[in-house]
Chains A and B, each alone.
Chain A
Amino acid sequence: MKYILMMNTMKAGCGVPSWPQKDLQAHIAFMLALNKELHAAGELVSAEGLSFPDQARQVRAGKEGKPITDGVFPESKEFLAGFWIIDVDSPERAYAIAAKISAAPGAGGAPLNMPIEVRPVMSAPPKEML
């Protein structure tokens, strides 16, 4: 069963967090170790880290299909920071991995306890889209 684990913690306009370098490194080391563990278990399908919200653009089609880009988002908007796609035996295993990610260290090494959104992924694109 394929699941997506989404970190939606970032706010409009923010860039790299102003944590001490040491704390940023500990956070990244935690994520890399987790990815390695999931890969070794055969559960990791893919993982992507997105650029920060200050780089995000909203695009709509204007006249003649030309793109209209806008970088202004509501304060309340949640931004995807990154995601994992995992292939696991049960939803409970997906939730357990999400709980691990939730406890990633933040400033001063304290667990962030951030919320992680978990949803099944359609195992293949629908036939009509291929």
Chain B
Amino acid sequence: MKYILLMSGTKAGVDGYLAWSQKDIDAHMAVLKALNKELTESGEFVATQRLAGPAEAKVVRGEKNGLPVTDGIFPESKEFLLGYWLVDVATPERAYAIAARISTGPGPGGVPTNMPIEVRQVASYDQRKS
């Protein structure tokens, strides 16, 4: 079963993260790096991506003639996807356990961020079947 673990945050939250000390950022990244390695070794790792920040986001709609209309203004409250992990696990409980590990990633001063991680099952587009 493939699950996606979504890490999201508001622009204010992202600005807060950018103000962390280098030592705190390094400690946070070391935990995520160790987790990725562990998931690779257990055969559960599928993919992970980190997205560019909210400042680089655009929202696009198709106009009547199909041409794109782009806009970079978002409500302050909007949650932006910061990154995700795709994992292939035997049970939903295992996906929740991995999400909890991500949630315990250390923040400033090594205190766990306890950030919420959204977990959902995915259906992948398989190009071999197209």
Whether the Cβ atoms of A78 and B78 lie closer than 8 Å is yes
A114: which of B47, B61, B63, B119 is its contact (CB, 8 Å)? B61
The minimal Cβ–Cβ distance linking B54 to chain A, given in whole angstroms, is 8
- In the complex, the answer to whether A65 meets B117 with C-beta atoms within 8 Å is no
- Assuming the contacts A57-B96, A66-B100, asked whether A117 and B115 have C-beta atoms less than 8 A apart, the reply is no
| Contact indicator A102/B62 (Cβ below 8 Å) | yes
Q: Is the interface of A mostly helix, strand, loop or mixed?
A: mixed
**Chain B interface, number of residues (Cβ within 8 angstroms):** 57
* A contact residues vs B (CB 8 Å cutoff): 4-6, 32, 35-36, 39, 44, 46-51, 55-62, 65-69, 76-78, 80, 85, 91-92, 95-96, 98-103, 111, 113-122, 125-126, 128-130
Can you name 19 A-B residue pairings with CB atoms under 8 Å?
A39-B127, A50-B122, A51-B120, A56-B120, A58-B116, A59-B99, A60-B115, A62-B100, A78-B78, A78-B79, A80-B6, A99-B66, A102-B60, A102-B68, A103-B62, A119-B57, A121-B50, A125-B50, A130-B36
